[in-house]
Structure 1
C-alpha cells in the first residue's frame, strides 16, 4: 500500500456502520414497547440491544479517529495544492462542502463520545447485589433524542463526503494527473 493513495475514503465505512447501528438501537429502545409482540419476538432482548448499542457507539467513536485523522491529512493536501479561495477571494464551492463535511462529522464524533462517556459512567454506578445491573447500558431519554439527531447529521455529513468524491473528484487521485491508457 502506498502513502500516495488517499486513505480517508477507505476508513469511513466502519464508523458510519457502527454509529448507525448504535443510533438505530437507541431509537429501537424507545419504540420497542409500542411494537407488536409478533415483531419484538424476533428481536434480541432489551438487555442485549442496549449493550450492543453501547459497544457499537464505542467502536464507532474508536474507528472514527483514524477516519478523521486521514480526512484532515487529505484536506490539508487539497488546500495546499488548490487553496480555499478562488481568484476573486470568495470561498470555493468545493471548500464550502469540505468545511461543512468536517464540521458536521467532528460534531457527531464529539457528541457521540460525550454520550458514550455519560452512559459509561451511569453503567459503572449501577451495580446490584450479584453484579452488574442488566440494564446498566440503557440510554436515557435525552440520549435517544440526541442519537436520532446525530444519525441524521451523520447521514448528511456522509452525503457531503460523497459530494466531495463524486462531484469534485476528491480522494481519487490526490491531485495527480490521471493518465489514460490510450494516450
Structure 2
C-alpha cells in the first residue's frame, strides 16, 4: 500500500465504536434506576458500566487523534487539488460537507476529551479523599446531557463522512483518474 492511499476511512471505526459505547453507557447510567429489575439483572453492575464508559471515552478520544490527523491530511490534498470554491466564487457542495464534517467531529473530540479530563480529575480527587471509591469515574448529570448531544453530533458527523465517501467519492481515489474497465 502506497502513501497515496487514503487511510482516514479506515481509522474512523475505533473512535466511532468507543465514543458510541461511552455515550450509551452514560445514558444507561441515568435510565438504569427507572428500569425494571428483571432487565437490570442481566446488565453489568453500575460500577462496571461506569468504569467501562470512562475508559471507552478515553479510548475514543485517543483513537480519534490519528483519525482526525489523517482526515486533515486527506482534506488538504482534496482542497489543494480541487479548491473550495467554484468559478463563481461560491463554496462547492462537497467543500461545505467537508467543512461541516470536520467541524462537527472536531467539536465532538474536543468536548469528549474535556469531559474525560473532568471525570479523571474528579476520580483522582475521590481516590485521594475516600480511598478506592468504586464510583469515582461516575459521570455527573451535565456530562450525561453532553454525552447525549455529542452522540447525536457524532452520528451526524459520521453521516456527513459517509456522504463524502459515497456521494462524492472522497477517499476512494485521492483525486486520481479512476480507470473504468469497460471504456
**Which TM-score band (shorter chain)?**
over 0.9
Aligned to 2:170: 170
**Mapped pair 1:138 → 2:153:** no
Q: Distance in 1 between matches of 2:48 and 2:23?
A: 15
Give 1:131 deviation, angstroms.
3.3
Give 1:178 deviation, angstroms.
1.2
Aligned to 2:36: 36
Give 1:83 deviation, angstroms.
0.2
**Mapped pair 1:80 → 2:89:** no
Give 1:151 deviation, angstroms.
0.1
Give 1:180 deviation, angstroms.
2.2
Give 1:181 deviation, angstroms.
2.8
Gaps of 5+ in 1: none
**Mapped pair 1:179 → 2:179:** yes
Give 1:132 deviation, angstroms.
1.1
Give 1:135 deviation, angstroms.
0.3
Alignment of 1:18-167 (within 5 A): 18-127=18-127, 131-167=131-167
Normalised TM-score (structure 1): 0.97
For each residue in 1:121-150, what CA deviation from the matched residue of structure 2 results, as whole angstroms up to 9, or x when unmatched?
000011278831000010000000000000
Residue 146 to residue 182, structure 1, CA distance change in 2 (3 Å): same
Give the match's secondary structure for 1:102.
Answer: helix
Give 1:113 deviation, angstroms.
0.3
Gaps of 5+ in 2: none
Between stretches 10-19 and 128-137, larger displacement belongs to 128-137
Residue 21 to residue 174, structure 1, CA distance change in 2 (3 Å): same
Between stretches 125-134 and 115-124, larger displacement belongs to 125-134
For each residue in 1:49-93, what CA deviation from the matched residue of structure 2 results, as whole angstroms up to 9, or x when unmatched?
000000000000000000000000000000000000000000000
Give the match's secondary structure for 1:89.
Answer: coil
Normalised TM-score (structure 2): 0.97
Between stretches 94-103 and 119-128, larger displacement belongs to 119-128
* Structure 1 residue ranges, 4+ long, deviating more than 2 angstroms after superposition: 127-131, 180-183
Give the match's secondary structure for 1:126.
Answer: helix
Q: Distance in 2 between matches of 1:159 and 1:64?
A: 16
Between stretches 173-182 and 63-72, larger displacement belongs to 173-182
For this pair of structures, how many residues does the alignment match?
183
